[in-house]
Amino acid sequence: SFHEYKLNFKKSKEMCLSYIQDAMLQKQWKRAAEFLTFYIESLEKNFSAECTSPSEVIWRIGTEILCHHSHSSMKEFNSFTEHVKTLGVRRYLKVCLEHTFHLLCNGLIDEAYQNLSLAESWRFGEQTVIQRKEMKLIKAYRGLLDYYSWSKQKNILLEHGQDGFEDLSVEQEMHSCFRKAAVNLEEIIKIPGVWDLFVKCYVDLLEFYGDHNEARQVLSEYAYNSKFPANPNAHVYLYQFLKRHGESKKSLISVLKILHDIVPSHELMIDFNIMLQKSKKRKRRRLGLEVIFAVLDYAGWKENVKAWSCLARQVKQIVISEKHLDWIKQEWNSRKDWWPAFHFSRYLAKKNWQENESLSYEKALVAGILLGKDCKYFKYVSHQGCKAQVKRLRVLKKFVNKHNPVYLRISG
């Protein structure tokens, strides 16, 4: 009966698919390709009303096979994709986008651009939400490619400009590229998302044409709009922009303060700490200490010499001036139950000493002040230092011994 036939067909289709998957998972691309030729029959007899049609499966599997098959070429890949594009209307834009990505990864930028322009002109009835999103991405990527050709022409012009030679046509073309790029890039970065690449390019365009206000607004919108995810890069871009344009320290600090609040372990926090340490204001120096302590809370910074030297320097300063010991005390209070095991164990002392002497020096200073001269880390390092007759460590030992009462005040 027809029903039975349908059922059998479905079963063999599924079986065929599982064979293909099995072959692909074992990297037997040739075998998978052979099975795929059988699977294509399922296109003709598509009885199912499932949401994933066989055409999508064929597209995905075919692409993957062509990416890894030893005898595939770009030409074959292109013709396969063109065929697939005609198969499914719903997936047209997605396939175009993926095709573009493939071309871009293989360095075929002009073909990719053509492909994007073609996709952009595609119309088919009412667009679904996903299709609208894909269309915007297509436009954005085209804008990106426009930006690259703009910057290429810009470089040509700049080089030639030095020679005192001006080419009007190149300049005109560059401006038209700018317009095309700016329109599309501007559109996508208004939608909530992660658009690092697009924002960077758009800001570069604006900066080149001197529209700093617009650039600044774009960047602060990207960083501070609550509909966007809390992307640390958005804050970094804003900070870099402000720094480039010589903004006041106050605004730089306020940007970094927000970054510190959302990502205390960001690598810019070292710069932030240095900036704050230099400051004359007490409040900022206080914040600096907080920032560097917070950075060293994270496992990723555990063996970072720079961070430890920042902390060591600031702690030393405070101890020498004997003012604001309460700052250290406050920071230490929430850490004293786990920092000794996390940073200052005997095992780590040994390891740091073997691997990185200057790290163990900085850490020993901090340990000596925070935990006193009897702490395991300090004892081990100073002992080893005496044995190896490192002068720096002898000075360190003297310093810690001299300021031992500080430890009592901090811990008390």
Partner 1 sequence: MEFPSALFPSYFGAGPPREEGGPAPAAGWGEHGQVLEAGPGRRQAETTFVSRCGGAGESWEPADAAAVPLLPPNAGCWVPAVTPQDILYHGVLRRKLQAGKSEAALDFTKQLRHFFVDHPEDAFGSLGRLLHQNFYLGNSKLRVSVHPEVTTLLPTPSLAAAIPSFCPFSSLQRRARDCTIRMTALREEISRLEARRGCPRKHLVPRLRWFSHLSRDWLFEVPLGLLADCVHEDLLLQWGSLLFDDSPTGGALAWLPPKDVGARMGRLVYPGGQAMNHLYFQDVVLEELPRPRGCPAQFELNGRIRQVAAARVDGEDFVGVRSDYHCGVWRVPGRTGATPTPLQVIRTSVPASCLTVSPHLSGELAVCTQSGAVYLWNVETGLQRLRHDPQTMFFRDHSPWRWSDFTAHPRVLSCADRTGLQCLDTRAPERCQFDLFKVGEEAGCQQGERVVLPMYLGRAYPSQHLVSTQFSVYVLDERLPLVPMLKWAHMMKAPPLFAHLVPGSPGRSHKVLLGTSHTQELLLLQYQGEKRGSRGGSRSACQLAGPLQKLHSIASCLQHLPAQLPHQHHLLQQRLSAPAAGLAAALQEDGPRESLTVFQLSEAGDVIINEEEEEDTGTPAAPQEAECPQEPCASPQPSPAAALRYRRWVTALCKGCGEPPQRTRPPSFSQKRLFTRKELEEPSAPSALHEQARQRLRQAMRDGGRIRHWDSPPPDLPQPLEPAAGPDPLSTRLTAAWCEDWERWWEERTRFNVAQRQRALRERRRRQKRAHGRRSLSASFTSS
In the range 278-297, which residues lie near partner 1 by CB under 8 A?
297
Tokens of 52: 């994933």
Give the C-alpha separation, 263 to 272, whole Å: 13
Of 61 and 359, nearer to partner 1 (C-beta) is 61
| Alpha helices (runs of H) in 264-403, residue ranges in sequence order | 268-278, 282-296, 305-321, 325-333, 339-343, 346-355, 357-371, 376-388, 391-402
Contacting partner 1 (CB under 8 A), which of 52, 79, 358, 401?
A: 52
Of 28 and 401, nearer to partner 1 (C-beta) is 28
In the range 60-99, which residues lie near partner 1 by CB under 8 A?
60-64, 67-70, 72, 98
Contacting partner 1 (CB under 8 A), which of 15, 183, 230, 388?
A: 230
Of 122 and 228, nearer to partner 1 (C-beta) is 228
Task: Say whether residue 38 binds partner 1 (CB under 8 A).
Answer: no
| Those residues with Cβ within 8 angstroms of residue 359's Cβ, 6 or more apart along the chain or in another chain | 303, 305, 308, 352
Contacting partner 1 (CB under 8 A), which of 51, 158, 168, 408?
A: 51
Contacting partner 1 (CB under 8 A), which of 6, 8, 22, 409?
A: 22
Neighbouring CB atoms inside 10 A of 114's CB total 13
Minimum CB separation from partner 1 for residue 248, in Å? Answer: 25
In the range 318-347, which residues lie near partner 1 by CB under 8 A?
334, 338, 341-342, 345, 347
Of 75 and 227, nearer to partner 1 (C-beta) is 227
Minimum CB separation from partner 1 for residue 69, in Å? Answer: 7
DSSP states of 93-143 as a string? HHHHHHHHHHHHHTT-HHHHHHHHHHHHT---SSPPHHHHHHHHHHHHHHH
Contacting partner 1 (CB under 8 A), which of 131, 231, 314, 352?
A: 231
Tokens of 388: 């190896």
Of 138 and 318, nearer to partner 1 (C-beta) is 138
Give the C-alpha separation, 376 to 380, whole Å: 6
Of 26 and 401, nearer to partner 1 (C-beta) is 26
Tokens of 182: 């700016």
Task: Say whether residue 228 binds partner 1 (CB under 8 A).
Answer: yes
Task: Say whether residue 267 binds partner 1 (CB under 8 A).
Answer: yes
Of 146, 221, 147, nearest to 190 by C-alpha is 221
Q: Using alpha carbons only, how large is the chain's radius of gyration in Å?
A: 31
Minimum CB separation from partner 1 for residue 410, in Å? Answer: 19
Instruction: From 16-24, 119-127, 171-179, 276-284, give the range in contact with partner 1 by CB under 8 A.
Output: 16-24
Instruction: From 225-233, 278-286, 370-378, 397-405, give the range in contact with partner 1 by CB under 8 A.
Output: 225-233
Minimum CB separation from partner 1 for residue 192, in Å? Answer: 5
Tokens of 405: 């009462």
Give SS3 for 89.
Answer: coil
Of 195 and 241, nearer to partner 1 (C-beta) is 195
Instruction: From 24-32, 215-223, 323-331, 382-390, give the range in contact with partner 1 by CB under 8 A.
Output: 24-32
Of 174, 241, 169, 171, nearest to 212 by C-alpha is 241
Minimum CB separation from partner 1 for residue 175, in Å? Answer: 19
What is the x/- site pattern for partner 1, positions 362-401, by CB under 8 A? ----------------------------------------
Residue pair 370/410 in contact (Cβ under 8 Å)? The answer is yes
| Those residues with Cβ within 8 angstroms of residue 312's Cβ, 6 or more apart along the chain or in another chain | 362, 363, 365, 366
Neighbouring CB atoms inside 10 A of 209's CB total 12
Contacting partner 1 (CB under 8 A), which of 17, 87, 275, 390?
A: 17
In the range 176-215, which residues lie near partner 1 by CB under 8 A?
191-198, 200
Tell the residue number behind the tokens 């303060």, with chain if given.
Answer: 257
Phi, psi at 12, each rounded to 5°: -70, -30
Give the C-alpha separation, 409 to 332, whole Å: 12
